[in-house]
Every structure is written in structure tokens, then in C-alpha cells.
Amino acid sequence: MEFLRIGEKLINPHRVHRAVEQILKLRSTGQSQQEVADQMGVDRTLVSRLESLGEVRKGSRLALVGFPVANKEEIEALARQEGVEFVFVMTDRERWQFAEHRSGVDLANELMVIFSELRDFDSVIFLGSDMRIKLVESILEPGMVLSIELGKSPMQEDVYVAPKMLQEAIRSLMG
């Protein structure tokens, strides 16, 4: 175990890390900053400052769904880097495998679960064909979906998504 000497104090960094993790875990369960501070024996401002240090972004909760995307890995990495919380991007091949390996009932249930999860977000960026865009926009709340058309249905090949364009869309929705 590694210790740090600060003046006359001997500090255990692992103990500090565990305490910070516990503070954040308690806050994520819905406890107030004051409740967590009291429970951990620290000042409320410490809890607030820890949250500020770790804050990735403020603003809308955002999801990204898209298919068929040629540069899937690049788009997923960009979305995660920008703080998108839900990322579901597939190539054309993955899209067909997703459908082929499920019965009709299982596929319908899985899609209902996905759409249910999407309703928890403030905004959804949807990358897809003209027909899929109409479907998604009709299922989710009006004004919730920012649609980016990748082509006309039926689409049978992957489409390159410009990362810069997607990044601008993400940033505009996140404020």
C-alpha cells in the first residue's frame, strides 16, 4: 500500500478514493448533499465540490440510435466522449443479425424495451432511413427526436456519418 507524506500527516490515498466513491454513491441514490455530508462526517461544501470536479456536463440527457452506420466505432466513441448516455448504433449486418436471431414476439418485446428506455431521455438523435425516421418520430414524444436521414428505404448498405456534423448536433442539444 502506498502512503503520501504531507507535512506531518501520513495519508492513505486508497482511503480517500473509497470515501469519495462512497460520497458519490450515496448522492446517486438521491440523498441530499447535507445528508451525505452528515453521514460521512464532512462539510456539505466538500460534497458539492467533489460533484463539480467530476461533472461531465449539465443539460439534457441524450440518447443516440442509428443504423446502418459504416463508421460505427468512430460514432460510438464520439458519442461517449461527448457524454451521450445511451448509444445504440449498428451496421447493416448487425441490424439484420439483431432481427434474425429473435422470434417476432422477442423482437417486438426488445424494441418496446428500447423505446421505453428512450422515453427517459430529454432528446434522441436518430440516424436512419426516411421510413424509420417517421416510425421513431411517431412513437416518441413530439420534438424529442432530432432525425438525421441516412437515405431512402429500403437501405441495404452502411452509410458514413460525418463525425463533425454529429458532434455539432450533440453539442447543440446538450446546451
Residues 86 and 16 in one domain: no
Q: Which three cell numbers stand for residue 14?
A: 486508497
pLDDT of 57 > 60? The answer is no
The sign one gets for the Cα dihedral 26, 55, 2, 41 is negative
Domain of residue 124 covers 62-174
pLDDT reported for residue 164? 98
Q: Considering its fold, how many domains does the chain have in total?
A: 2
Q: Reduce the DSSP state of residue 155 to 3 states and report it.
A: coil
How far apart (Å, rounded) are the C-alpha atoms in residues 130 and 147?
9
Does residue 88 share a domain with residue 36? Answer: no
Residues 97 and 165 in one domain: yes
Q: Computed over its alpha carbons, how large is the radius of gyration of the chain?
A: 22
Q: Are residues 159 and 106 in the same domain?
A: yes
> Are 130 and 85 in the same domain?
yes
CATH code for the domain in which residue 94 is found: 3.40.50
**Region for 113 from its dihedrals, namely left if φ exceeds 0, alpha if ψ lies in -120 to 50, beta otherwise:** alpha
Flag whether the pTM goes above 0.75: no
Cell triple for residue 144?
Answer: 424529442
CA distance 90 to 81: 18
pLDDT in tens, 111-132: 999 999 999 899 999 999 999 9
Please check whether residues 93 and 38 belong to one and the same domain.
no
- Clarify whether residues 114 and 86 are in a common domain: yes
131 and 47 in a common domain: no
* pLDDT at res. 55: 63
* pLDDT tens per residue, range 6-18: 999 999 999 999 9
